[in-house]
């Protein structure tokens, strides 16, 4: 039986990722959350991205050159006796599969939306992954200190573009650039925005109703009337508050605020921590494994190479799912059926690495990887051979034909490409009836092509040639007796196979996907494949 202090450690963990489109305010919000928590472990990315907007490479020249953070990190802090793990995700447009995979290790998500821009493309993509996992999603609509879209328009966008119900927890007053504050729908109070001192004060309703004359005195008649009308409309026509739906990711509670001025961040954090779940069970080949299970288990969700160029090491990031982790413990690497000692575990993973003595379900640790881990591998303390469900391969959106300039370097080329694919930086496809001199590489963000070129040259001494291909969509084919010779495609479709020799189709447009689906009714075309 798990002891009480262990259970307490599990139950106070909250592990989440922040999803947003670049510039919506993810970094700012993260910083403010850390401020409240007095971060105990602060990963490089936030600090660095802020301190020197361009520069600071955690691990790769390319980051320096581009002034962006290519990889994600983990931040941990304590707040009100919660132990909070934030999984940071790259914010640049050229984000990669890593961003998606990080979401596989999160128990919930915070979605940041810029009030002037609404739901943007990257938010939508990341949201889809959260939805696929059915994790709770908490929305923070940011930058209310500036003029933005009308809150009803934003609610409609969330529902229409993302297809999720929403429940505004508070409602902004003065969204045309004259921000007054928000009305808290549950506490029936107005949190007043003061631009000057960046603080906030609260005016409570004595009658627990938005029509309280105290609010009229505070806001003036016009704003007060508008607020009353809008709240009435929300109460009548809006979705009901439903905790069950929130926890299943079917309804998102929405907060309006301003991260930069710290307005609304604390109520959001407190609500979020008390509402969202501690780590819950995860499906494995032995059914659902509870985090309270004594047997230590975890899975690798990300592999990062050369974090420290001087050492050329790889770090495998492990999400702990059950049991207690202790430094130096020996665990089974289930896929290869070998024991490995986790001797130099690090808990957070950018510039300042901290060696962890103990860690609990919900935590992320990084362990040195001498090249034995793949994404999705399970580690397990006992001999039960527990294996968690695989981590999906997300559909690449950019494709290129790649080969070594010098054919004598083919071996190194293949080695490098294989290793980068194992890390999940790229996806490798082979054309049928063609050898491995020339591969098709698929990536989620185009920056990964630069990463590929840079790393093959720097780490494997291979110069490559790359020819961009016009394909934009990939679908894995699931079909009994798939035969590439009889499968009916369109002229602009290419049949290839992935690393696991699964048949894959590359398409140039949505239209072709539809046609091929119609022409092959027995085939299921999947956007995501599980390793
Ligand atoms: P990201 O991580 O999502 O990419 O966004 P980030 O926090 O870096 O914020 C992007 C820009 O938006 C920053 O301005 C930031 O100061 C601003 N911002 C964030 N939250 C708010 C807010 O609540 N209100 C307003 N008005 N602005 C906000 P920048 O000019 O790009 O950078 P900086 O010079 O402020 O560092």
Ligand 1 proximity of 72 Cβ (cutoff 6 Å): no
Domain span at 447: 392-530
pLDDT at 199: 54
For residue 152, what pLDDT band results from cuts at 50, 70 and 90? very high
Known binding residues for GTP: 20-27, 88-92, 142-145
DSSP 431-454: ETT--TTSEEEEESSTHHHHHHHH
**399 close to 317: Cβ distance less than 8 angstroms:** no
Mean of all residue pLDDT scores within the chain: 86
Strand runs (DSSP E) across 405-528, as ranges? 427-431, 439-443, 464-469, 473-478, 494-497, 503-507, 524-526
Tokens of 192: 């007043």
Q: Are residues 27 and 120 in the same domain?
A: yes
Q: Are residues 159 and 99 in the same domain?
A: yes
Helices (H), ranges, 285-349: none
pLDDT at 311: 57
Q: Is residue 5 part of a domain?
A: no
Is a pLDDT exceeding 70 seen at residue 100? Answer: yes
The CATH number given to whatever domain includes residue 259 is 3.40.50.300
Q: Are residues 262 and 359 in the same domain?
A: no
pLDDT at 42: 44
Is a pLDDT exceeding 80 seen at residue 353? Answer: no
Q: Is residue 287 part of a domain?
A: yes
Q: Is residue 356 part of a domain?
A: yes
Q: Are residues 54 and 149 in the same domain?
A: yes
**Across the strands, what pairs with 110?**
18, 138
**Which of 347, 380, 413 delimits the end of a domain?**
380
Q: Is residue 387 part of a domain?
A: no
pLDDT at 72: 46
pLDDT at 308: 52
For residue 19, what pLDDT band results from cuts at 50, 70 and 90? very high
Nearest Cα neighbor of 437 from 470, 469, 409 is 409
pLDDT at 180: 92
Ligand 1 proximity of 23 Cβ (cutoff 6 Å): yes
Mutate to test the pocket of ligand 1, among 72, 177, 260, 263 (most ligand atoms within 8 A of CB): 260
**Å from CA of 28 to ligand 1 middle:** 6
Nearest Cα neighbor of 273 from 5, 6, 8, 12 is 12
**503-507/473-478 β-pairing:** antiparallel
Mutate to test the pocket of ligand 1, among 21, 22, 25, 46 (most ligand atoms within 8 A of CB): 25
**Å from CA of 323 to ligand 1 middle:** 39
Taking the C-alpha atoms of 470, 129, 131 and 380 in order, what is their torsion angle to the nearest 10 degrees?
150
* Residue of minimum CA distance from atom 33 in ligand 1: 50
**Å from CA of 29 to ligand 1 middle:** 9
Is a pLDDT exceeding 60 seen at residue 123? Answer: yes
Q: Are residues 504 and 463 in the same domain?
A: yes
**Which of 219, 251, 275 delimits the end of a domain?**
275
**Which of 251, 275, 299 delimits the end of a domain?**
275
Measured CA to CA, the distance from residue 400 to residue 442 in angstroms comes to 7
**Å from CA of 352 to ligand 1 middle:** 25
**406 close to 464: Cβ distance less than 8 angstroms:** no
Nearest Cα neighbor of 144 from 119, 181, 188, 99 is 181
Tokens of 165: 């119900």
Ligand 1 proximity of 447 Cβ (cutoff 6 Å): no
pLDDT greater at residue 259 or residue 314? 259
If one counts the domains in the chain, the total is 3
pLDDT at 204: 73
Ligand 1 proximity of 143 Cβ (cutoff 6 Å): yes
Q: Are residues 424 and 305 in the same domain?
A: no
Task: Give mean pLDDT, residues 437-455.
Answer: 86
**Å from CA of 176 to ligand 1 middle:** 19
The CATH number given to whatever domain includes residue 459 is 3.30.70.3280
Q: Are residues 26 and 155 in the same domain?
A: yes
Q: Are residues 97 and 133 in the same domain?
A: yes
For residue 333, what pLDDT band results from cuts at 50, 70 and 90? very high
Ligand 1 proximity of 22 Cβ (cutoff 6 Å): yes
Is a pLDDT exceeding 80 seen at residue 67? Answer: no
Helices (H), ranges, 138-261: 151-157, 213-219, 221-237, 243-247
For residue 73, what pLDDT band results from cuts at 50, 70 and 90? low
Helices (H), ranges, 312-446: 410-423
Ligand 1 proximity of 27 Cβ (cutoff 6 Å): yes
For residue 249, what pLDDT band results from cuts at 50, 70 and 90? very high
pLDDT tens by residue, 375-411:
899 999 999 999 998 888 888 889 999 999 998 999 9
Q: Are residues 267 and 286 in the same domain?
A: no
**Å from CA of 85 to ligand 1 middle:** 22
pLDDT at 95: 62
CA distance readout (Å), 416 to 14, 62, 457: 37, 17, 9
Q: Is residue 251 part of a domain?
A: yes
Burial of 229 from C-beta contacts in 10 A (0-12 / 13-18 / 19+): exposed
Ligand 1 proximity of 257 Cβ (cutoff 6 Å): no
pLDDT at 183: 95
Ligand 1 proximity of 260 Cβ (cutoff 6 Å): yes
Where b means 16+ CB within 10 Å and e means fewer, 450-462 reads bbbbebbebbbeb
Q: Are residues 248 and 151 in the same domain?
A: yes
* Residue of minimum CA distance from atom 26 in ligand 1: 143
Is a pLDDT exceeding 50 seen at residue 441? Answer: yes
The CATH number given to whatever domain includes residue 304 is 2.40.30.10
Ligand 1 proximity of 259 Cβ (cutoff 6 Å): yes
pLDDT greater at residue 284 or residue 303? 284
Ligand 1 proximity of 427 Cβ (cutoff 6 Å): no
Q: Are residues 203 and 106 in the same domain?
A: yes
Tokens of 333: 């690497």
For residue 68, what pLDDT band results from cuts at 50, 70 and 90? very low
Q: Are residues 270 and 171 in the same domain?
A: yes
Nearest Cα neighbor of 233 from 180, 171, 178 is 171
pLDDT at 99: 80
Measured CA to CA, the distance from residue 299 to residue 389 in angstroms comes to 9
* Residue of minimum CA distance from atom 29 in ligand 1: 23
Q: How many CB atoms lie within 10 A of CB 5?
A: 8
pLDDT at 513: 96
**Across the strands, what pairs with 15?**
85
Helix (H, G, I), strand (E, B) or coil at 521: coil
pLDDT at 122: 86
Ligand 1 proximity of 28 Cβ (cutoff 6 Å): yes
pLDDT at 40: 42
DSSP 190-202: EEEE-TTTS-EEE
Q: Is residue 81 part of a domain?
A: no
Q: Is residue 352 part of a domain?
A: yes
Q: What percent of the chain lies above the pLDDT cut of 70?
A: 87
Q: Is residue 3 part of a domain?
A: no
pLDDT tens by residue, 167-213:
999 999 998 889 999 999 999 999 999 876 555 677 777 777 888 98
């Amino acid at each position: 039986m798990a002891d009480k202090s262990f259970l307490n450690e599990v139950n106070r963990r909250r592990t989440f990722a922040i999803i947003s489109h670049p510039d919506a305010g993810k970094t700012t919000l993260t910083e403010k959350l850390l401020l409240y928590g007095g971060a105990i472990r602060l990963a490089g990315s936030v600090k660095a991205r802020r301190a020197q907007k361009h520069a600071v490479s955690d691990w790769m020249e390319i980051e320096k050159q581009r002034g962006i953070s290519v990889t994600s990190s983990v931040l941990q802090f304590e707040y009100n006796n919660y132990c909070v793990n934030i999984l940071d995700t790259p914010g640049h447009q050229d984000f990669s599969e890593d961003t998606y995979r990080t979401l596989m290790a999160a128990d919930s998500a915070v979605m940041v939306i810029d009030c002037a821009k609404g739901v943007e493309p990257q938010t939508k993509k990341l949201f889809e992954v959260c939805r696929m996992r059915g994790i709770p999603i908490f929305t923070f609509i940011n930058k209310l200190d500036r003029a933005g879209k009308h809150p009803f328009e934003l609610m409609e966008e969330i529902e229409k573009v993302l297809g999720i119900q929403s429940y505004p927890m508070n409602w902004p007053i003065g969204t045309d650039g004259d921000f007054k504050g928000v009305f808290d729908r549950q506490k029936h109070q107005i949190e007043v925005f003061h631009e000057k001192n960046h603080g906030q004060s609260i005016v409570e309703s004595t009658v627990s109703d938005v029509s309280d004359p105290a609010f009229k005195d505070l806001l003036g008649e016009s704003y007060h009337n508008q607020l009353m009308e809008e709240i009435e409309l929300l109460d009548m026509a809006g979705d009901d508050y439903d905790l069950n739906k929130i926890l299943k990711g079917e309804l998102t509670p929405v907060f309006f605020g301003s991260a930069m001025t710290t307005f609304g961040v604390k109520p959001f954090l407190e609500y979020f921590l008390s509402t969202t779940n501690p780590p819950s069970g995860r499906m494995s080949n032995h059914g659902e494994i509870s985090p309270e299970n004594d047997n230590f288990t975890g899975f690798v969700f990300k592999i990062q190479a050369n974090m420290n160029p001087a050492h050329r090491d790889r770090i495998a990031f492990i999400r702990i799912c059950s049991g207690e982790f202790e430094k130096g413990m020996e665990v089974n690497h289930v896929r290869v059926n070998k024991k490995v000692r986790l001797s130099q575990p690090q808990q957070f993973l950018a510039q300042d690495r901290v060696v962890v003595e103990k860690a609990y379900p919900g935590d992320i640790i990084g362990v040195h990887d001498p090249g034995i881990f793949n994404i999705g591998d399970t580690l397990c303390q006992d001999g039960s051979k527990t294996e968690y469900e695989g981590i999906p391969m997300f559909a690449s959106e950019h494709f290129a034909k790649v080969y070594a300039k010098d054919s004598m370097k083919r071996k190194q080329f293949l080695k490098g490409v294989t290793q980068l694919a194992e890390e999940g930086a790229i996806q490798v496809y082979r054309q049928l009836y063609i050898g491995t001199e020339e591969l098709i590489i698929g990536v989620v963000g185009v920056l990964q092509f630069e990463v590929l070129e840079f790393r093959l040259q720097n780490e494997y001494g291979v110069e490559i040639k790359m020819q961009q291909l016009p394909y934009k969509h990939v679908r894995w084919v699931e079909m009994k007796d798939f035969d590439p010779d009889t499968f009916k495609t369109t002229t602009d479709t290419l049949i290839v196979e992935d690393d696991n020799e699964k048949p894959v189709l590359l398409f140039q447009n949505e239209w072709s996907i539809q046609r091929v689906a119609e022409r092959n009714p027995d085939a299921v075309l999947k956007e995501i494949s599980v390793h």
